[in-house]
Amino acid sequence: MIKSIKIFAPATVANLSCGFDVLGCCLDNVGDEMNISLVSEPGVKITKIEGADLPLETHKNVAGVAVEALLKAYDKMVGVHIEIYKKIKAGSGIGSSAASSAGAVWAVNHLLDEPFTPHDLVSFAMEGEKLASGNAHADNVAPALLGGFTLVRSYDPLDVIKLHSPKDLVMTVIHPQIEVKTSDSRSVIKQNVALKKAIQQWGNVGGLVAGLFTENYDLIGRSLEDVIIEPLRSILIPEFKAVKEIAMAKGALGCGISGSGPSIFALSKGTETAKIVSEAIRSVYIKTGLDFDIHVSPINNQGIKLINP
């Protein structure tokens, strides 16, 4: 082994109500750990996975595919070993595959003394996302790599913008342990949008971005509204309506589907409100008899972090 580092690869919440496929934010205390090493024998190997039943074959694991995309651009013979300690469950809607793709490319770039910009890393990590979902989306890998809130302004050419992150924002996320098939969550979405709804939606995206930059929590709350995707997708998530109602009644700024679900997020001002919201959501879910996890996390403005040995 030549060099090795241990990292925290964070979970992320994509879409953020109005920002379907373009907005996302990074969590601080929910995420995987990874050990990444440079080794003398060239090639990329996944040497260990704990906490989840995921493929060890490099070309079937998003971390392997993302690092191979980076090494193709680096164009020198490099050997990489990857160990993944999964805490984020795959298919949860909080960026499980994104944490692995983004974490792996960030760590390899760090070990190679940073030949690539964070923006380059987003495009390599998107290759991992393409493997996971068939679509090279950036709304989870961008916040994992850049931290805070991010906007994918354009996919072609890729243009990712880091937004301002007001320090009092805290996320509550519930992950009901049910399977929502990606094919189902895709099939309920309509391909065409009525102009009236599109106007509401881009008004909200602009309002949310303005609210983040000016730290206007009321404006953030007013803008966390999705009139296009949520009404269709929320039917796949048990008790979505009850969770949203109670979260808003307990003071959340907004509440919506995290990624393509089944996780639900509620964004609050301050940890105290986020904890009250978390308890209220728990009281709804306990009655369903379903297994679930709840996380309360500040926004992580840094993204992926080194863990000191």
Residues that bind ligand ADP (CB under 6 A): 54, 61-63, 84, 90-98, 100, 132-133, 140, 259
| Cβ neighbours around 154 below 10 Å, total | 11
Site of tokens 């030549």:
2
Phi, psi at 292, each rounded to 5°: -155, 160
- Which residues on neighbouring strands pair with residue 155, listed in sequence order? 158
Q: Toward ligand ADP, which CB reaches closer, 54 or 209?
A: 54
What is the sign of the dihedral through the CA atoms of 117, 120, 124 and 127?
Answer: positive
Where are the strands (E) in the chain, listed by range?
Answer: 3-14, 23-39, 43-50, 79-85, 149-155, 158-162, 169-176, 254-257, 264-269, 292-298, 305-307
Q: Toward ligand ADP, which CB reaches closer, 35 or 61?
A: 61
Q: Which of 33, 68, 83, 129 is catalytic?
A: 129
| Min CB(60)–ligand ADP separation in Å | 7
Q: Chain centroid to CA 295: how far?
A: 14
| Min CB(234)–ligand ADP separation in Å | 16
| Min CB(140)–ligand ADP separation in Å | 6
Report the relative pairing of strands 43-50 and 79-85 from DSSP bridges.
parallel
Site of tokens 């979405």:
189
The dihedral over CA atoms of 174, 180, 182, 185, expressed in degrees to the nearest 10, equals -90
| Min CB(185)–ligand ADP separation in Å | 9
| 225 classed as catalytic | no
Which of 173, 227, 168 has the alpha carbon at shortest distance from 10? 173
| 182 classed as catalytic | yes
Site of tokens 């805490």:
87
| Min CB(254)–ligand ADP separation in Å | 20
Which of 27, 32, 33 has the alpha carbon at shortest distance from 12? 27
| Min CB(12)–ligand ADP separation in Å | 8
Residue 62 is encoded by which pair of tokens?
């998003």
Q: Toward ligand ADP, which CB reaches closer, 62 or 160?
A: 62
Provide the annotated active-site residues: 129, 182
